[in-house]
């Protein structure tokens, strides 16, 4: 969502990254789409929707749209039982766990601000674009 909304920290972080090194989980895309659909038109829903479509098109062209499949499901089943916390001590939800599982299964780096749970999952590699 920060890419779509052109967050300055994320924009500065992603600019030098090679296109072939950028991957997106279909679960993340679905989550962002849901956020956009809940945004009132007068608050820029159409602009955000166009930006998301452009990003998804980019990911498709680069074969970088990562599906939640059997391999990711296997990793998900291992982390589903863990007590994982984010920000204000909220539980890491299933959608986020699916994204994490996909990153681990594909040996990809999860791009996310620092979270409590990052050090609690074996095999999870994280890069914080806000540092």
pLDDT at 5: 76
For residue 66, give the nearest of 25, 98, 8, 32 by alpha carbon. 25
pLDDT at residue 94 is higher than 90: yes
- Identify the CATH number of the domain defined by range 8-127: 3.40.50.1010
- Asked if residue 35 lies in contact with residue 29, where contact means CB atoms within 8 angstroms, the answer is no
Q: Tell me what the pLDDT averaged over the chain comes to.
A: 93
The pTM assigned to this predicted structure is 0.89
Q: How confident is the model at residue 88 (pLDDT cuts 50, 70, 90)?
A: confident
- Asked if residue 130 lies in contact with residue 113, where contact means CB atoms within 8 angstroms, the answer is yes
What integer is the mean pLDDT of 31-50?
A: 94
pLDDT at residue 27 is higher than 80: yes
What integer is the mean pLDDT of 64-90?
A: 94
Instruction: Classify the phi-psi angles of 107: left when phi > 0, otherwise alpha if psi is within -120 to 50, otherwise beta.
Output: left
Percentage of the residues of the chain whose pLDDT score is greater than 90: 79
Q: Is the dihedral of CA 85, 128, 36, 20 positive or negative?
A: negative
């Amino acid at each position: 969502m920060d890419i779509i909304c052109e967050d300055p920290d994320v924009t500065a972080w992603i600019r030098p990254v090679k296109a072939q090194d950028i991957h997106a989980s279909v679960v993340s895309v679905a989550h962002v789409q849901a956020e956009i659909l809940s945004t009132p038109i007068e608050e820029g829903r159409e602009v955000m929707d166009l930006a998301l479509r452009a990003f998804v098109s980019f990911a498709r062209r680069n074969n970088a749209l990562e599906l939640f499949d059997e391999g990711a499901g296997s990793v998900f089943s291992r982390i589903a039982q863990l007590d994982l916390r984010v920000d204000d001590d909220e539980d890491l939800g299933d959608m986020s766990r699916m994204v994490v599982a996909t990153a681990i299964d594909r040996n990809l780096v999860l791009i996310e601000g620092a979270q409590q749970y990052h050090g609690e999952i074996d095999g999870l590699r994280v890069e914080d674009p806000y540092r």
